[in-house]
């Protein structure tokens, strides 16, 4: 399915961007100086940066949520009280504090306090319960935990399986207040009489000190804890806030993303702090209320992830769609098929699509505002050939990795050096699995991202697929993302998730797609849909199975649960009321799969 994309960046396109480039270069130079903290004794990171922003804009809004507006000075003072209280309670630099509460100002104030102490905040996914929650806590061995009132019942259900003492189990009241639960300590109440001045500890936090533990899903489905250091936080904040977005004190950044993930927590909040700008949040994303929030806060900048932009496009068109002050947005996961539609409908001038991974050391950003690209990276990188079966990079006879031609998909490797260190996981063995040594020259080290990108020219990359989402059918490599993009071009398909499933008699994996119809199942013409796909995809990439879903299940960052879909495959016995259809050999349409037909397919009756 490899092809040279028509999104290639030409000399003419670059020449038209020269005025923008001349404006950006000074920001790049300044940003590189601020972000690359080389002196191991130089204070840096979240707490120090927020204090600098408070000096720049003390009375300007720092946090907005609902009717609440807190200035930089107010947020800084509240965080300082908690920091002084924690220091008095024996919380030391390097101690881990598990954070378990939903998006609200108290969450960010708590994180800021921990950063000032030098403690590490473990960002627990608020959707976790039971075994997954216990696992996430055990991974980081926290010295303390902060639980929001809204998550108390979930935490209480597993409390007996943790070793956390009651004296260090702090509770944060919800916005409406509540009585302190038995066995918890009121964090705000106990810290309110402590000093509001910056603690000396905030100037004893340095580049290599860990700031957050962020969780990323492993291949088994259980989370892995990624170390996010203060130096990396500085690079992320400066690159997104100063270089990419040119954030300023009069900007307002609206972020509806969950703050336990790096995009919302580090990219979006970091960008706002970098510009001493306001940061507006809400508990959970609402497509129907999104633009009302944007107008309410007079937002100039947006954060997005995954399918969020498509959900906004799918909302009914309104004469109010362009009545806002948004000029720029930053995030990841905007599909090429939705890119132009979003810009045209909502009139946002600059989409700064980025590429990064919590467990990696590289970031791309679309600073020059080209379409359908993640932009360029200031970190060294290479796109290499890989084995389609194992996904491992291929070495030549000299033992070196092999770069792919420009425009062709390749496995992205990021160079590890002093300017781009790899923080990695809390588990050293997991780190070693991602490293490639002596890749191109003796002694070099590269991080394997596990993602496929293509070089569009002039250092600009385009995300192709995750290697785990690329499957092989009849000896050919099939990009799930490419098939999804084709499906989404069909007027009767609102959402699409593509993956490979095992079928007896198929060489490799068979393509399957879960789709949500734009209108209803009754209006979907399966024969016409099959013809549509056959005209736009190689034969090996046309899905053999379709699963019809009324609503897709998504993660907190608007990504789909592919692992569950792969596991359930096309077995109608586990689908409930979600019908499955199959394209049988030598037919011109998809037919409904019942239990008998599913058994015949798996029994090898049909020759695919």
Q: What is the pLDDT of residue 389?
A: 67
What percent of the chain has pLDDT above 90?
71
Q: Is the model's pLDDT at 573 over the cut of 90?
A: no
Quick one: pLDDT at residue 285? 92
Question: What percentage of the chain carries pLDDT values higher than 70?
Answer: 97
Query: Distance of CA 1 to CAs 189, 382, 476, 540, Å?
Result: 60, 21, 8, 9
**pLDDT number for residue 221:** 55
Place of tokens 């399957």: 512
Is residue 430 pLDDT above 90, yes or no?
no
Query: How much is the average pLDDT of 522-536?
Result: 93
Backbone angles phi, psi at 154, to 5 degrees: -65, -45
pLDDT at 388 over 80: no
Q: Are 517 and 494 in contact (CB under 8 A)?
A: yes
pLDDT in tens, 333-342: 898 878 999 9
**pLDDT tens, position by position, 34-73:** 888 878 889 999 999 999 999 999 999 999 999 999 999 9
Alpha helices in 204-333 (DSSP H): 230-238, 262, 269-274, 290-297, 308-313
pLDDT at 433 over 90: no
> Residue 381: beta bridge partners?
414
For the beta carbon of residue 193, count every other beta carbon within 10 angstroms: 9
Q: What is the pLDDT at residue 538?
A: 84
* pLDDT above 70: residue 218: no
Q: What is the mean pLDDT of residues 313-330?
A: 95
The mean pLDDT of 456-465, rounded to a whole number, is 92
Q: How many Cα atoms within 13 Å fall on the side-chain side of residue 259?
A: 28
Model confidence band, residue 4 (pLDDT cutoffs 50, 70, 90): very low
Query: Please, which pLDDT band fits residue 220 given cuts at 50, 70 and 90?
Result: very low
- What residues contact residue 32 under an 8 Å CB cut-off, 6+ apart? 378
Average pLDDT over residues 112-118: 98
Q: Where are the beta strands (DSSP E) in 322-393?
A: 328-332, 350-356, 363-365, 381-384
Please state which of the ranges 89-93, 343-347, 474-478 shows the lowest mean pLDDT: 474-478
Residues 458-479, mean pLDDT to the nearest whole number: 83
Query: What integer best gives the mean pLDDT of the chain?
Result: 91
- Determine the Cα–Cα distance for residues 134 and 155; give it in Å rounded to an integer: 9
pLDDT of 3 above 50: no
pTM of the model: 0.85
Confidence of residue 176 (pLDDT cuts 50, 70, 90): low
């Amino acid at each position: 399915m490899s092809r040279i994309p028509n999104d290639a960046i030409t000399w003419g396109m670059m020449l038209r961007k020269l005025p923008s480039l001349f404006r950006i270069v000074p920001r790049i130079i300044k940003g590189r100086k601020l972000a690359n903290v080389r002196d191991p004794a130089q204070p840096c990171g979240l707490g120090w940066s927020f204090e600098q922003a408070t000096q720049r804009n003390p009375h300007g809004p720092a946090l907005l949520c609902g009717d609440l507006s807190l200035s930089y000075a107010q947020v800084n003072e509240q965080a300082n009280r908690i920091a002084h209280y924690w220091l008095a309670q024996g919380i030391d630099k390097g101690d881990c504090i598990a954070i378990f509460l939903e998006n609200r100002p108290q969450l960010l104030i708590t994180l800021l306090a921990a950063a000032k102490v030098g403690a590490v905040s473990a960002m627990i996914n608020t959707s976790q319960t039971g075994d997954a929650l216990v696992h996430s806590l055990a991974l980081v061995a926290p010295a303390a935990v902060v639980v929001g009132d809204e998550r108390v019942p979930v935490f209480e259900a597993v409390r007996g399986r943790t070793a956390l003492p009651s004296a260090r189990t702090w509770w944060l009241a919800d916005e409406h207040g509540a009585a302190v639960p038995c066995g918890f300590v009121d964090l705000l109440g106990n810290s309110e009489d402590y000093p509001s001045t910056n603690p000396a500890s905030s100037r004893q936090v340095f580049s290599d000190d860990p700031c957050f533990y962020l969780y990323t899903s492993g291949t088994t489905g259980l989370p892995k804890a990624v170390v996010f250091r203060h130096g990396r936080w500085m690079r992320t904040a400066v690159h997104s806030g100063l270089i990419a977005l040119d954030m300023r004190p009069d900007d307002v950044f609206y972020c509806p993303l969950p703050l336990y993930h790096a995009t919302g927590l580090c990219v979006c909040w970091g960008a706002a702090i970098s510009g001493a700008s306001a940061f507006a949040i809400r508990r959970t994303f609402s497509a129907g209320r999104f633009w009302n929030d944007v107008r309410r806060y007079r937002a100039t900048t947006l954060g997005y992830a995954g399918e969020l932009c498509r959900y906004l496009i799918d909302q009914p068109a309104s004469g109010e769609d362009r009545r806002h002050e948004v000029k720029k947005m930053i995030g990841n996961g905007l599909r090429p098929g939705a890119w132009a539609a979003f810009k045209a409908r909502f009139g946002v001038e600059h989409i700064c699509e980025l590429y990064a991974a919590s467990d990696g050391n590289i970031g791309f950003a679309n600073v020059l505002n080209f379409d359908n690209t993640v932009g360029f990276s200031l970190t060294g990188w290479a796109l290499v050939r890989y084995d389609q079966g194992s996904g491992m990079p291929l070495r030549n006879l000299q033992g070196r990795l092999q770069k792919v031609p420009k425009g062709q998909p390749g496995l992205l490797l990021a160079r590890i050096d002093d300017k781009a260190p790899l923080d990695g996981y809390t588990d050293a063995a997991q780190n070693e699995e991602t490293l490639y040594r002596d890749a191109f020259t003796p002694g070099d080290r590269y991080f394997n991202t596990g993602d496929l990108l293509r070089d569009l020219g002039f250092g600009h990359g385009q995300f192709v697929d995750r290697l785990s989402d690329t499957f092989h059918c009849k000896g050919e490599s099939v990009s799930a993302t490419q098939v999804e993009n084709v499906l989404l071009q069909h007027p009767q398909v609102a959402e699409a998730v593509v993956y490979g499933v095992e079928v007896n008699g198929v060489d490799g994996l068979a393509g399957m797609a879960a789709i949500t119809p734009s209108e209803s199942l009754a209006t979907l013409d399966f024969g016409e849909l099959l013809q549509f796909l056959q005209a736009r995809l190689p034969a090996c990439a046309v899905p053999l199975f379709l699963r019809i879903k009324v609503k897709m299940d998504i993660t907190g960052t608007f990504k789909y649960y592919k692992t569950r879909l792969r596991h359930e495959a096309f077995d109608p016995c586990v689908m409930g009321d979600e019908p499955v259809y199959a394209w049988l050999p030598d037919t011109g349409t998809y037919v409904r799969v019942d239990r008998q037909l599913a058994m015949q397919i798996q029994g090898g009756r049909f020759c695919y």
